Structure formats: structure tokens, C-alpha cells
Structure 1
Amino acid sequence: MNVRRSTAYTGNASFLLRITPANLLGLLDFANFVWIKYIFPIFIVGLPIVFLLASMIRKRRLAAS
């Protein structure tokens, strides 16, 4: 029973150490590169267009019924 408990603690600790970023500055550079070039244009331009199209389709369906 004691071996299972110590294995669980060791496994959890090694997992938490493994998911921490090795290079925080590299992680920040990657986040800035991805978010500024790809995600923000989708949220600023693409998402409102999707909402507009969805509202137009909904309006047509409500008018037809």
C-alpha cells in the first residue's frame, strides 16, 4: 500500500515538473507570434462575420415560419 502512495506522489510531481515550460521567454515569443498573427484576426474579423451570418440565417428562418 505504501509503494502505491509513493508512486502516485512521485508520478504527479514528475508530471507537474514536465509540463512547466523550460524556457519562459521562448513560450512568450511563441504566444505573441501565434496570437497576434492568427488568433486576433479571427476574433476581430472572422467571429463578427460568423455572428452576422448566423443572425441573417435565423432571421430568414423566423420570417419563413
Structure 2
Amino acid sequence: MEGVILTLPVLMTTQDPWWLPLVLSVAIGALINAAAINGVAAVLRRSRVRRADAHGPAVEAIG
């Protein structure tokens, strides 16, 4: 990571920013990935709550 931080200013001084699309695509990919993971986690949380609600009264009645 230190190497990346140290080389960024050197890359920014070049005339042709060939690395800019790469950096942007990695950043956008990371954002999409985080959003997808959060969405899946939210769906799993909701389904777990629904399952607990569905089985709650029956388990209490049996117990």
C-alpha cells in the first residue's frame, strides 16, 4: 500500500493519465461490490426476521 501511495504523485505529473480509467474503474467496482453486499445482507436479515416471526408462536405453543 505504501508503494501505491508513494507512486501516485509521480503518476499524476505525467501528461497522459493512462492510469485514471483504471483507478476509476476499480473505485466504481468497489462501490458496486459494497452496495451488492449490503443488499444481500439486508435481504438475509429480513428473511431471518420473517422466519423467526413465522415459527415464533408455534414454538411457544409447543413449549
TM class, shorter-chain normalised?
0.3 to 0.5
> Taking structure 2 as the reference length, what is the TM-score of the superposition?
0.47
> Taking structure 1 as the reference length, what is the TM-score of the superposition?
0.46
Report which structure shows greater RCO (CA 8 Å, sep ≥6).
2
